[in-house]
């Protein structure tokens, strides 16, 4: 079992560009969560998805940010027109139908220059 | 929504001593309380969790205690070793969604040799 796979591990974008972060959950996991972590800070909830459904996006900024988890393929977190304040580590986690415990991916470290 | 407070933010102990980290939560309906360990530059990893139907759970040198009346839970690490040095996060389910976790702000534990 490959665990939760996130790519890319590191992403550098210029201000105004788009960032696309991908997350493949563990095999058998249908619940996907995205969290943002600033340096030396905690994990801030962004969005919770199941296949083809956004369950809760209350932690995601209304503008520029979107997420999806299509029927086929990985979950995508998309940030349009990135700004320096978007620089952070973005972690994806997944869980199955039987347990609440999360398995985290290795994260994508986004740097906006 | 759920509010999770974690203390202390930093903790230094001598190797072999015990370490205790405490968290409080606000939603009395919360029923699942995990603890995650995050080493520098790595992903958070689940180390132990407890459900609300028990008051204590142990796994070798790690234990978690839960006081539902007072709405707080604690992580206990005994016989600490240098490899225990990391940031530890507690979490509790967000109000309205048992699967979506709200994380504490983290505790940087340093075990001094």
Choose among B43, B98, B102: nearest Cβ to A104: B43
Q: Is the pLDDT of residue A68 over 70?
A: yes
The closest of B31, B68, B37 to B50, measured between CA atoms, is: B31
Average pLDDT on B80-109 reads: 91
CB atoms within 10 A of CB A7: 15
With an 8 Å Cβ cutoff, the interface of chain A facing chain B consists of 31, 33, 35, 41-45, 48, 55-56, 58, 91, 95, 100-107
- Residue A45 with chain B: CB contacts under 8 Å: 94, 100-103
* CB contact (8 A) between residue B97 and residue A56: yes
CB A33 within 8 A of CB A94: yes
Average pLDDT on A11-35 reads: 96
B105–chain A nearest CA distance, Å: 5
pLDDT tens figures, B48-61: 999 988 899 999 99
Interface of B with A in 58-87 (CB under 8 A): none
CA A92 to chain centre: 5
Residues B44, B57: Cα–Cα separation, whole Å: 20
Q: CA angle at residue A87 from A96 to A14, to 5 degrees?
A: 120
Q: Is the pLDDT of residue A79 over 70?
A: yes
- B8 prior amide bond cis, ω within 30: yes
Q: Which is more confident, B94 or A113?
A: A113
Q: Tell me the β-bridge partners of B30.
A: none
Return the pLDDT at A98. Answer: 83
Return the pLDDT at B47. Answer: 97
Average pLDDT on B64-76 reads: 96
B38–chain A nearest CA distance, Å: 10
Provide the greatest CA pair distance for chain A: 42
Choose among B34, B43, B100: nearest Cβ to A48: B100
Burial string for B64-94 (b: 16+ CB within 10 Å, else e) reads bbbeeeeebbbbbbeebeeebbbbbbbbbbb
Return the pLDDT at B61. Answer: 97
Q: What is the mean pLDDT of chain B?
A: 94
Q: Which is more confident, A8 or A51?
A: A8
Average pLDDT on B31-52 reads: 94
Q: CA angle at residue B20 from B17 to B25, to 5 degrees?
A: 175
Average pLDDT on B45-73 reads: 94
**Among the ranges given (A60-64, A80-84, B9-13, B52-56), the one the predictor scored with the smallest mean pLDDT:** B52-56
Report the DSSP pairing between strands B107-112 and B10-14.
Answer: parallel
Confidence of residue A1 (pLDDT cuts 50, 70, 90): low
Average pLDDT on B9-32 reads: 95
Does residue B93 sit at the A interface (CB-CB below 8 Å)?
A: yes
Return the pLDDT at B29. Answer: 87
Q: Is the pLDDT of residue B94 over 90?
A: no
- State both tokens at A94: 């997944």
Residue of B10, B29, B44, B106 to mutate when probing chain A, most A C-beta within 10 A: B44
Confidence of residue B96 (pLDDT cuts 50, 70, 90): low
Confidence of residue A53 (pLDDT cuts 50, 70, 90): very high
Residue with tokens 């095999």: A27
Residues A29, A89: Cα–Cα separation, whole Å: 22
Q: Is the pLDDT of residue A20 over 90?
A: yes
Does residue B46 sit at the A interface (CB-CB below 8 Å)?
A: yes
């Amino acid at each position: 079992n490959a665990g939760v796979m996130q790519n890319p591990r590191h992403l550098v974008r210029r201000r105004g560009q788009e960032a696309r972060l991908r997350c493949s959950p563990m095999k058998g996991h249908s619940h996907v969560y995205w969290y943002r972590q600033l340096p030396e800070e905690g994990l801030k909830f962004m969005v919770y998805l199941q296949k083809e459904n956004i369950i809760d996006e209350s932690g995601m900024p209304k503008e520029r940010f979107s997420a999806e988890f299509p029927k086929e393929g990985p979950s995508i977190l998309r940030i349009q027109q990135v700004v320096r304040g978007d620089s952070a580590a973005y972690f994806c986690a997944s869980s199955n139908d039987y347990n609440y415990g999360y398995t985290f991916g290795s994260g994508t470290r986004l740097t906006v220059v | 929504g759920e509010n999770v407070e974690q203390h202390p933010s930093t903790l230094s102990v001598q190797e072999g001593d015990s370490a205790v980290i405490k968290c409080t939560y606000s939603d009395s309906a919360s029923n699942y309380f995990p603890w995650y360990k995050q080493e520098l530059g790595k992903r958070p990893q689940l180390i132990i969790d407890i459900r609300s139907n028990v008051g204590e759970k142990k796994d070798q040198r790690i234990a978690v205690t839960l006081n539902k009346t007072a709405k707080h839970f604690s992580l206990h690490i005994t016989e600490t070793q240098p490899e225990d040095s990391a940031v530890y996060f507690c979490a509790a389910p967000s109000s309205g969604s048992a699967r979506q976790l709200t994380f504490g702000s983290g505790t940087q534990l340093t075990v001094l040799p």
